[in-house]
A and B are shown apart, each in its own frame.
Chain A
Amino acid sequence: MSRPVGLAQTAPAHEHIAAVNLPPTIAIRDLTMRFGAGTADAVLAVDNVSLSLAPGEFVSLVGPSGCGKTTILNLLTGLLKEEADGDVRVLGRPPREGNPDIAYMLARDSLLPWRTALDNAAFGMEVRGLPRRERESRARDLLQQVGLGDFADKFPKALSHGMRQRCALARTFALDSPVLLMDEPFGALDAQTKLTLEDLLMQLWSAHRKTVVFVTHDLAEAIALSDRVIVMSARPGRIVADVAIDLPRPRDVRKLQTDHRFHDLYAKLWRLLEQGAAAHE
């Protein structure tokens, strides 16, 4: 089931996706990213990566630390000032900073401590110029969906880790951007909270239909959430394998923890990850 590098255009068979024939939402071709090119300590961060995501697809990137996962997300958002080789397209257009088609979620919740949960959930919409009434009602609605309905007027200091990350989820989904880039959003949470939030993310994703690139170090998380898991090698980051996750949806993240197919996939991905990590040491 692992496909050769760069041939990732087919979407997996799962009932949500009727989009196999649509142009890809994200298309990366022959991407090579070198930091500090021309200097003595140039770093080849990403080496010839090709990848594409069909509309509505949920794809995870896993790989050793420093293999360029965050760099790929930053390239998609247009946040990197340095030039990369290759072709990157989001909804057919080259990346640009502040692209309204993209919602970015970081590992740390990045809630603004001087704003209430409601105003934090509305922050993205505020920056993007939505009128106050609309953004407040959307933010309230999303807070309700993530289970923070009663905490709308609380400041972040009064929220637990998990609640803060829920609030960040609300902020991300309130943007209603078709593309979601998530960089280890649950990395700092304890195992139980993590499962709860993964479930929540699945619910939101099913309800809102986004194309998601999800970076994680947690294979179980990648398998539970994704349509495909892309395994990258140690730096310079190359794609080692592209594994379709053919578990039926909707998935119950907690039940999956004891599913034997889940464990088979886990073992397989683990081996691939180890090989990729060893390949460049």
Chain B
Amino acid sequence: MSKPFRITRARVPGHVVFIVALVALWEFLGARGVIDPTFAGRPSGIASYLWRGFITDRNLWNDLSYTLAAAAIAFVGGSLTAILAGLLFTMLPGLHRACEPYLSLLNAMPRIALVPLFLLWFGLGIGSKIAVAVSLTFFIVLAATVAGIRGVNSDHLVLSRALGATPGQIFFKVTLPSAVPVIFSGLRLGLVYALLGVVGAELIAAEHGLGQVLAYLQSTFDMDGVMALLLLLALLGLSITVAMNWIEKKLLVWQ
């Protein structure tokens, strides 16, 4: 789905020069008042916010761990149930047909709109964040699992049946391995959306978490903090993608 994120080594100096120049320009224009720091923050302010948050005051660690824990729990729970449901659906096509309209309806709902409901049901804490993230991850991974299993090469099935493979053998030696790449790209997307769901719900109402911090900073017009949080979230998303690419490369050497 998303293209692997990669910077070739030869390009690194170029990127460093560009970023340093951009940051310097931003700082300079901010100091001269051309860019209003109350609206855009300033690189020095952003850096000092992050320094306080992670090194001296260390208050961001706690919020970061809340956000990551919620995303991780939602990702693992959501994708496991999605894969199991996908397997069940391929074993029982009748059940799949029966469930499909309802699943489509649920999937069509803007999930962030469910946050008020989930807050009522699961409280201000981590539970409601997990619920929102699961509601995103589950459908993504479910669709990928079903597509992956349906996409199995029919020649492989004919060959296996002619060889006398049992249904179990066919499933574990042919169908499942052939579905793994598709399921994996679903997992990659599911993880990004788990993070999105958690942060989105935290923005609306929470006790802890990066989204909650972001909402608070925004309400107090602390633009250095807001920019720092946005940078942090972008880097978080990026490291997820890089990590998933790395795992995929190790796992799917045959591709």
Binding site for B on A (CB under 8 A): 77, 79, 97-100, 102, 104, 106, 108, 110, 112-115, 123-124, 126-128, 155-157, 175
Chain A to chain B: the 4 pairs with minimum beta-carbon distance, closest first? A98-B164, A104-B162, A110-B155, A155-B254
In the complex the two chains form, is A106's CB within 8 Å of B160's CB? no
Pick the most buried of B156, B169, B252: most chain A CB atoms within 10 A of its CB.
B156
Establish whether residues A112 and B174, one from each chain, have CB atoms under 8 Å apart when the complex forms: yes
Tell me how far the C-beta of B190 lies from the nearest C-beta in chain A, rounded to whole angstroms: 22
A181 to B88, CA, bound (A): 35
CA distance A108 to B153 in the complex (A): 11
Q: Chain A nearest CB: distance from B92 CB in Å?
A: 20
Contact indicator B164/A128 (Cβ below 8 Å): yes
A127 close to B178 (CB less than 8 A): no
Closest to B165 in A: A127
Question: Do residues B155 and A127 form an inter-chain contact, with CB atoms below 8 A?
Answer: no
Interface: B161 (CB within 8 A): yes
Q: What separation, in Å, do the CA atoms of A27 and B85 have in the docked complex?
A: 47
Contact partner, A79, options B162, B165, B177, B180, Cβ 8 Å: B162
Q: In the complex, are the beta carbons of A127 and B164 less than 8 A apart?
A: yes
- Measured between beta carbons, the chain B residues less than 8 angstroms from A157 are 254-255
Asked if B19 lies at the interface with its beta carbon under 8 angstroms from chain A, I say no
Q: In angstroms, how far is the closest chain A Cβ from the Cβ of B163?
A: 4
Q: Is B173 an interface residue (CB 8 A)?
A: yes
Are the CB atoms of A100 and B164 closer together than 8 Å? yes
Q: Are A127 and B160 in contact (CB under 8 A)?
A: yes
Q: How far is the CA of A104 from the CA of B156 in the complex (A)?
A: 12
Query: Are B174 and A98 in contact, CB atoms less than 8 angstroms apart?
Result: no
Q: Which residues of A contact B153 (CB under 8 A)?
A: 110
Q: Are A155 and B253 in contact (CB under 8 A)?
A: yes
Interface membership of B235, Cβ < 8 A: no
Contact A104 B164 (CB under 8 A): no
Which of chain B's residues has its CB closest to A113's CB? B254
- Interface membership of B158, Cβ < 8 A: yes
A102 CB to nearest B CB, Å: 7
Task: Give chain A nearest CB distance to B166 CB in angstroms.
Answer: 8
Contact A108 B163 (CB under 8 A): no
29 interchain pairs, CB-CB under 8 A: A97-B161, A98-B161, A98-B162, A98-B163, A104-B162, A106-B155, A106-B158, A110-B156, A112-B156, A112-B174, A113-B178, A113-B255, A114-B178, A114-B180, A114-B252, A114-B254, A115-B254, A123-B163, A123-B173, A124-B163, A126-B173, A127-B160, A127-B163, A127-B164, A127-B169, A128-B164, A155-B253, A155-B254, A157-B255
Q: Residue of A at shortest CB range from B174?
A: A112
In the complex the two chains form, what is the Cα distance from A123 to B164 in whole Å? 12
Contact A98 B254 (CB under 8 A): no
In the complex, which residues 8-46 of chain B have their Cβ closer than 8 Å to any Cβ of chain A? Answer: none
For A97, list chain B residues within 8 Å (CB): 161-162, 164
Nearest residue in A to B162 (C-beta to C-beta)? A104
CA distance A278 to B165 in the complex (A): 41
B7 touches A (CB below 8 Å): no
Q: Which residue of chain B has the shortest Cβ distance to A116 in the bound complex?
A: B254
Bound form: Cα–Cα A21–B158 in Å: 34
CA distance A79 to B157 in the complex (A): 11
Name the A residues within 8 Å of B253 (CB-CB): 155
Contact of B91 with A by CB under 8 A: no
Q: Compute how far the CA of A98 lies from the CA of B253 in the bound complex, rounded to whole angstroms.
A: 31
Q: Give the docked Cα–Cα distance between A134 and B56 (Å).
A: 64
A-side contacts of B162, CB under 8 Å: 77, 79, 97-98, 102, 104
Is the beta-carbon distance between B255 and A106 smaller than 8 angstroms?
Answer: no
Say if the beta carbon of B113 comes within 8 Å of chain A. no
Whole-angstrom distance between the alpha carbons of A124 and B254 in the complex? 20
CB distance from A115 to the nearest CB of B (A): 8
CB neighbours (8 Å) of A175 from chain B are: 163
Partner of B177, one of A102, A106, A112, A156: A112
Interface hits, B174-188 → A, CB 8 Å? 174, 177-178, 180
The answer to whether the Cβ of B159 comes within 8 Å of any Cβ in the partner chain is yes
Closest-CB distance, A90 to chain B (whole angstroms): 13
Q: Are B155 and A108 interface neighbours, CB within 8 A?
A: yes
Q: Which of A99, A100, A106 is B159 in contact with, Cβ under 8 Å? A: A106
How far is A254 from B126 in the complex, measured between Cα atoms in Å? 74
Complex-state Cα separation, A253 to B118, whole angstroms: 74
The answer for the CA separation of A124 and B162 in the assembled complex, in Å, is 10
Q: A114-B177, A127-B160 are in contact. Are A98 and B165 (CB under 8 A)?
A: yes
Which A-chain residue is minimally distant from B157 (CB atoms)? A110
CA distance in complex: A98, B163 (Å): 5
